[in-house]
């Protein structure tokens, strides 16, 4: 016995002409064409609106820019005449940083008579770790005020 009842389109070797005609009647060609047309027109309208928006923004941007100076000398950027206060600003900054690095990394006398020496930070940390913090000499530090100042100022 066969799996399919006689006359059903699912049988092997039988044509599907009745179903094909049914699908052709169910397909609404007019709706498909109108949908495609409306999507195309909508896309074109959105593209035109975006072009108009960007043209308007470009106009606003150029309107907000200051006008170019009339004199050619003003439009061109030139260095001021000699003698300049700083002829090589980049080199000056490099030399300043090298001098600061040297001061931070090398020990030097601040006051040789009093025995005050400037030492690098990493050496100072090692010295403090070995010796500990120095004791505070002299009178005790004043106690902080217990009353807060009034918002209106002095009375």
pTM exceeding 0.75: no
Residue 104 lies in a domain: yes
Residue 143 lies in a domain: no
Residue 101 lies in a domain: yes
**Residue 2 contacts by C-beta under 8 Å, 6 or more apart in sequence?**
11
Least confident span in 1-10, 13-22, 46-55, 101-110 = 1-10
Task: At 113, list the tokens.
Answer: 């008579």
Cβ-contact 153, 144 below 8 angstroms:
no
Number of domains the chain is built from: 2
How far is the CA of 148 from the CAs of 132, 138, 141, in angstroms? 35, 28, 19
Residue 77 lies in a domain: no
Domain holding 25, by residue range, is 17-63
Condensed to tens digits (0 to 9), the pLDDT of residues 85-129 reads: 887 888 999 999 999 998 888 988 888 899 888 888 888 899 899
Question: Residue 119: is it exposed, middle or buried by C-beta count within 10 angstroms (0-12/13-18/19+)?
Answer: middle
Residue 51 lies in a domain: yes
């Amino acid at each position: 016995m066969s799996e399919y009842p006689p006359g059903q389109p699912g049988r092997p070797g039988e044509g599907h002409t009745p179903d094909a005609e049914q699908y052709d009647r169910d397909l609404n060609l007019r709706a498909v064409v109108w949908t495609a047309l409306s999507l195309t027109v909508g896309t074109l309208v959105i593209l035109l609106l975006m072009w108009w928006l960007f043209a308007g923004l470009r106009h606003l941007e150029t309107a907000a820019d200051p006008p170019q100076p009339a004199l050619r000398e003003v439009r061109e950027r030139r260095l001021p005449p000699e003698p300049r206060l700083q002829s090589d600003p980049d080199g000056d900054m490099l030399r300043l940083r090298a001098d600061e690095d040297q001061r931070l990394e090398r020990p030097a006398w601040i006051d040789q008579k009093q025995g005050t020496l400037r030492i690098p930070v990493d050496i100072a940390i090692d010295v403090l770790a070995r010796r500990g913090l120095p004791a505070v000499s002299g009178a005790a530090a004043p106690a902080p005020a217990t009353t807060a100042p009034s918002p209106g100022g002095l009375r």
